[in-house]
Copies of this chain bind each other. A is one copy, B any other.
């Protein structure tokens, strides 16, 4: 089973989970943590969430952690705490398409298939009007 943790400064993580629910209906196995939204949601709070998430990932499971900002404090804390644990992957500077494509992917996660999904999910400057007709082709959700 694949289990997911989305972690961010502020409400990016919970906002993204709401969007995923609206688009896919998927709620199960997605934990979010919004850090720094009040005095209680500090790094200690993040550490507890990380600890519980790691404990929930069994020997035959995969833990995929999504973070908001490469090099940001949330990402650094997760890198430090999760270390090089087997069957865990950390993806940073996430956007909606990478989270959706990993959630909807049926394969066992590996470094190479995650990198392939990342390549297809990158931030993009839209160009128009001549390329407009091409855009509808890469929609995988309405």
Contact = CB atoms under 8 A, between A and B. Distances in A.
A73 interface: yes
A37 B22 contact: yes
A33 to B, nearest CB: 12
A137 B71 contact: yes
A6 to B, nearest CB: 10
B23 A19 contact: no
A84 to B, nearest CB: 5
A136 to B, nearest CB: 7
Contacts of A114: 125
A87 interface: no
Interface in A75-101: 75-76, 79-80, 83-84, 89-98, 100
Nearest to A10: B19
Interface of A: 8-16, 18-23, 34, 36-37, 68-73, 75-76, 79-80, 83-84, 89-98, 100, 111, 114-115, 118, 121-129, 132, 135-142
